[in-house]
C-alpha cells in the first residue's frame, strides 16, 4: 500500500509516520509537508534514508504539486494531518487557517477524485464541537453532537469536516474522519501548553496560565491517537466520524502544577495572565463508538504518559533548543510580552 501522510513533519504527523513504518513495514510512506514554522525535518531524520519512505516539501494548497505527487506515487490512502493548528495564532491571523485547513483539504480531495484512492482520512479535532460547561460533568461530545465552534482554528477544522462529508455524499469519495482530544507526547511544538510549560520551567521562567486555569482538556498520549487512526484505516466504516479520547480530563492549572512537581520547580513560577479570547471551558470526548466498533482503547495512562513526555524533553534538548532560539522568540514576545 502507498500512503501519503500530509503534515508528517509536525507533532502528530511525525509520530504517525513512525507508527506506520514500524507497524506496516511492507507499506510505502510518502510524507508531504510545507515545513511551516511547525514542521521540522530533523524530526524525520531517523527514517529519511529508509527505502520505503519519501519526504516531499510541498504545500497542500498547491494543486499542481499535489497532482504531480499523485501521478508519481499512485497513493492508495491519504491521511491529512497538514494544518495550521494553534488556536492563539488563529486569533491573531485567521486567513492562513482558512487557506490551509479548508482550501488545502479541498485540493487533496480533488486529487483523490481525479486519480482514485481507497481512502481519504481527515484528522480533525474535538474542538469542532465547541465547549461544555464546567458544572455539567455528565456531558460529553459524541459524534452526533452539533458542530458549534469558538475560534477561527476550530471553525476552519469544522468547515473542512463538512467539506469531507460533502465529497463523500456528492462524489462518493471513500472518506473517514477522526475527531481527537488534546494530544501530548514527543515532538510537540513548544507553543502548546505542555511543552511550553516544561521548557519554561526548565529555564525557571514564568509559567503563563490563561485566566483562572480551570479550563479542562481531555489529554491523550499521541501514540494512542496514532493507533486509533491506523485502526480506522483498516476497519473503519467509510463515511463515518470517530471520536477519539481517553476519558482523561484535567484542569490546566493541575497539569502545570504536576509539571512543576515532576521537575522539582516551585509553584511560585505560575503566573495567571490575561485569558485567551473566546476560551473554550471544557472538552470531553465520549469514545464509545470507536471502542465498540473497532475495539480501540487508550493504552497510556496520563500519570505515565506525562512522565515519559517530560523525560523526552529532558533527553532531547537538541530537538527543542534550535526551535526556541529562532523566530519562536519573537512569537513568544508578541504573544506573552503584553499579557501581564
The catalytic site residues sit at 126-127, 153
Q: Which of 3, 4, 5, 12 binds ligand NAD (CB under 6 A)?
A: 12
Of residues 34-93, which lie at the interface with ligand NAD (CB under 6 A)? Answer: 34-36, 38-39, 59-61, 81-85
Phi-psi region of 239 (alpha: psi -120 to 50; beta: other; left: phi over 0): left
Among ligand NAD, ligand TYD, none, what binds residue 208 when CB lies within 5 to 8 Å by partner kind? ligand TYD
Q: Which of 18, 140, 189, 331 binds ligand NAD (CB under 6 A)?
A: 189
Among ligand NAD, ligand TYD, none, what binds residue 156 when CB lies within 5 to 8 Å by partner kind? none
Grid cell 479520547 — which residue? 245
The DSSP call for residue 264 is: T
Residue 13, interface with ligand NAD (CB under 6 A)? yes
Among ligand NAD, ligand TYD, none, what binds residue 38 when CB lies within 5 to 8 Å by partner kind? ligand NAD
Of residues 116-145, which lie at the interface with ligand NAD (CB under 6 A)? Answer: 123, 125
User: Considering the complex, what minimum distance in angstroms separates the CB of residue 305 from ligand NAD?
Assistant: 13
Residue 7, interface with ligand NAD (CB under 6 A)? yes
Residue 31, interface with ligand NAD (CB under 6 A)? no
Residue 182, interface with ligand NAD (CB under 6 A)? yes
Residue 6, interface with ligand NAD (CB under 6 A)? yes
Burial 155-181 (b: 16+ CB within 10 A, else e): bbbbbbbebbbebbeeeebbbbbbbbb
What residues have CB less than 8 Å from 243, skipping those under 6 apart?
A: 126, 141, 142, 143, 178, 179, 180, 285, 286, 287, 289, 290
Burial 202-226 (b: 16+ CB within 10 A, else e): beeeebbbbeebebbbbbbbbbbbb
Phi-psi region of 305 (alpha: psi -120 to 50; beta: other; left: phi over 0): alpha
Residue 104, interface with ligand NAD (CB under 6 A)? yes
Return the axis-axis angle of helices 302-315 and 252-263, rounded to nearest 10°: 50
User: Considering the complex, what minimum distance in angstroms separates the CB of residue 249 from ligand NAD?
Assistant: 14
Residue 10, interface with ligand NAD (CB under 6 A)? yes
Burial 38-58 (b: 16+ CB within 10 A, else e): bbbeebbeebeeeeebbbbeb
User: Considering the complex, what minimum distance in angstroms separates the CB of residue 87 from ligand TYD?
Assistant: 4
- Distance separating alpha carbons of residues 34 and 242, to the nearest angstrom: 27
In DSSP terms, which residues pair with 271 in a beta bridge? 208
- Distance separating alpha carbons of residues 46 and 340, to the nearest angstrom: 41
Q: Which of 19, 29, 70, 100 binds ligand NAD (CB under 6 A)?
A: 100
* Closer CB to ligand TYD, 105 or 125, in the complex: 125
Interface residues with ligand TYD (CB under 6 A) are 87, 182, 192-193, 196, 208-210, 215, 217, 252, 276
Assess contact for 105 and 163: CB atoms under 8 A. yes
| Angle, vertex CA 206, rays to CA 275 and CA 197, nearest 5 | 80
* Closer CB to ligand NAD, 78 or 269, in the complex: 78
Among ligand NAD, ligand TYD, none, what binds residue 217 when CB lies within 5 to 8 Å by partner kind? ligand TYD
Give the footprint of ligand NAD on this chain (CB under 6 A).
6-7, 9-13, 33-36, 38-39, 59-61, 81-85, 100, 104, 123, 125, 157, 180, 182-183, 189
Amino acid at each position: 500500500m502507498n500512503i501519503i501522510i500530509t503534515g508528517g513533519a509536525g507533532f502528530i504527523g511525525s509520530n504517525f509516520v513512525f507508527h506506520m513504518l514500524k507497524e506496516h513495514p511492507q507499506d510505502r510512506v510518502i510524507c508531504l509537508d510545507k515545513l511551516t514554522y511547525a514542521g521540522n525535518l530533523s524530526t524525520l531524520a531517523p527514517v529519511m534514508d529508509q527505502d520505503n519512505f519519501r519526504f516531499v516539501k510541498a504545500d497542500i494548497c498547491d494543486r499542481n504539486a499535489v497532482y504531480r505527487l499523485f501521478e508519481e506515487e499512485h497513493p492508495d490512502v491519504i491521511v491529512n494531518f497538514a494544518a495550521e493548528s494553534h488556536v492563539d495564532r488563529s486569533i491573531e491571523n485567521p486567513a492562513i487557517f482558512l487557506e490551509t485547513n479548508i482550501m488545502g483539504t479541498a485540493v487533496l480531495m480533488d486529487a483523490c477524485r481525479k486519480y482514485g484512492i481507497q481512502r481519504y482520512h481527515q484528522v480533525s479535532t474535538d474542538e469542532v464541537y465547541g465547549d461544555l460547561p464546567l458544572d455539567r460533568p455528565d456531558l460529553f461530545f459524541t459524534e452526533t453532537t452539533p458542530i458549534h465552534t469558538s475560534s477561527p482554528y476550530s471553525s476552519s477544522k469544522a468547515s473542512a469536516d463538512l467539506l469531507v462529508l460533502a465529497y463523500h455524499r456528492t462524489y462518493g469519495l471513500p472518506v473517514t474522519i477522526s475527531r481527537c482530544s488534546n494530544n501530548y507526547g514527543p515532538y510537540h511544538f513548544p507553543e502548546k501548553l505542555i511543552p511550553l510549560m516544561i521548557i519554561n520551567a526548565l529555564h525557571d521562567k514564568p509559567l503563563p496560565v490563561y485566566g483562572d486555569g480551570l479550563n479542562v482538556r481531555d489529554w491523550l498520549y499521541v501514540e494512542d491517537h496514532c493507533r486509533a487512526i491506523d485502526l480506522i484505516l483498516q476497519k473503519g466504516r467509510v463515511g463515518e466520524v470517530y471520536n477519539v479520547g481517553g476519558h482523561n480530563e484535567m484542569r490546566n492549572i493541575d497539569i502545570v502544577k504536576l509539571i512543576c512537581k515532576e521537575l522539582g520547580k516551585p509553584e511560585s513560577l505560575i503566573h495567571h495572565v490575561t485569558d485567551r479570547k473566546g476560551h473554550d471551558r471544557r472538552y470531553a470526548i465520549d469514545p464509545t463508538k470507536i471502542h465498540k466498533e473497532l475495539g480501540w482503547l487508550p493504552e497510556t495512562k496520563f500519570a505515565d504518559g506525562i512522565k515519559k513526555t517530560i523525560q523526552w524533553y529532558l533527553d532531547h534538548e537538541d530537538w527543542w533548543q534550535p526551535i526556541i532560539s529562532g523566530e519562536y522568540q519573537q512569537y513568544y514576545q508578541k504573544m506573552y510580552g503584553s499579557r501581564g
